[in-house]
Amino acid sequence: MTNIKDLAKMARVSVTTVSRVLNNHPYVSKEKREAVLDAVKSTNYQKNINAVHLSKGKTKLIGVVLPFSDHPYFSLLLKGIAKQALENNYHLVLFQTDYMQNKEIEALEMLQKKQIDGLIICSRTCDLQIIEEYLQFGPIVLSEDVKEINVSSTFVSHYKIFSNALEYLYQRGHRKIGYCIGRSTGANSYNRGLAYKDFHEKYSLSYNSEYIIDKCLYFEDGEKVINQVKLMNIAPSALLVTSDQVAAGIVVSCQKQQISIPDDIAIIGFDNQPIAKMMDITTIEIPLMEMGRNLFLQTINSEISNKEVPVKLIERKTV
């Protein structure tokens, strides 16, 4: 492997000059520049980037923490992050955590060890206090509405979304409304639960805890949801489903079992992914790609900012 010293020897200049040429710095004469460039070509030279990292203290690497990449929500967010990273000449290090805290901490430690310049946490399971401790080592950006600590974030207000969707269903006569989520812990689910509770208090409605169905992640979980609903004494007349895929699975499952949508049960999906359009599912549009882009930009722009992204209800045929 030829290095900068070899080049210097070959071009009969100092390493400094080589470095200048390599990094397009000014103050190099034409002749020397060309001599260096010749040497570069003839040796097929490439920088050892680790030396650059050590010298500069930066890696142009941003970490991305997410529970799993095989879920449309996260893979779309990731796609947005990746797109923006590319435009800014960064690369991504993936931390697939499966919601295991120690893996999240591993990512935080890589920030501390300077292997990554910043960290995007798409969904977390560890405490905010822990994250706060690592803030001193580099920028960390979250995808949730965080007030407790001073970090950047890009998020949608799940409280508002849920409130609005519940209101929408209420106006259409629904009084027994259930909802499906991916996991019952986590900040987003907490806010949804709050909105759900507040809604029921506002209208003095009661609800059954079995109306809250968790572990709904994939298309095929739709079937599970319908099977659960069928076992209930009093079935909900509408379902808020925090993923279009699951909503689509529910729709298909209902067709199989002769359950009519929206007459027997109304469905609202989340995200407005293409599958929702194809299946004519009423859904709440969440601009995941844009959110991903913004998350990335926040990690490299050192000022701290919090951005709430607006969402939109798309009315189709399942309500």
User: Which residues would be at the binding site for its own copies (CB under 8 A)?
Assistant: 46-51, 53-54, 57, 59, 61, 68-72, 75-76, 78-79, 82-83, 86, 91-96, 103, 109-110, 112-115, 218-220, 222-223, 248-249, 252, 255, 274-275, 277-279
3-state helix, strand, coil in the chain (%, to 5): 45, 15, 40
Q: Pick from 37, 52, 300, 309 the residue near DNA by CB under 7 A.
A: 52
Strand boundaries in 103-144, DSSP class E = 118-121, 140-142
Of 27, 44, 231, 233, the residue at the interface with DNA (CB under 7 A) is 27
End-to-end CA distance of the chain: 65
List Cα–Cα distances, 202 to 111, 126, 170, 190, 266, in angstroms: 45, 33, 11, 18, 22
Candidate segments 40-48, 98-106, 122-130, 249-257, binder of DNA by CB under 7 A: 40-48
16 binds, among DNA, its own copies, none (CB under 5 to 8 A by kind): DNA
In the three-class reduction of DSSP (H, G, I as helix; E, B as strand; rest coil), residue 23 is classed as coil
> By the 8 A CB rule, do 287 and 83 touch?
no
Cross-sheet strand order for the sheet of 212-213: 212-213, 177-180, 238-241, 266-271, 283-285, 312-314
Closer to DNA at the Cβ: 61 or 313? 61
CB of 10 to its own copies, least distance (A): 19
Q: Considering only the stretches 53-61, 152-160, 214-222, 298-306, report the one whose residues sit in contact with DNA under the rule CB under 7 A.
A: 53-61
Q: Which residues bind DNA (CB under 7 A)?
A: 1, 3-5, 12-17, 19-20, 22-23, 26-29, 31-32, 45-48, 51-52, 54-57
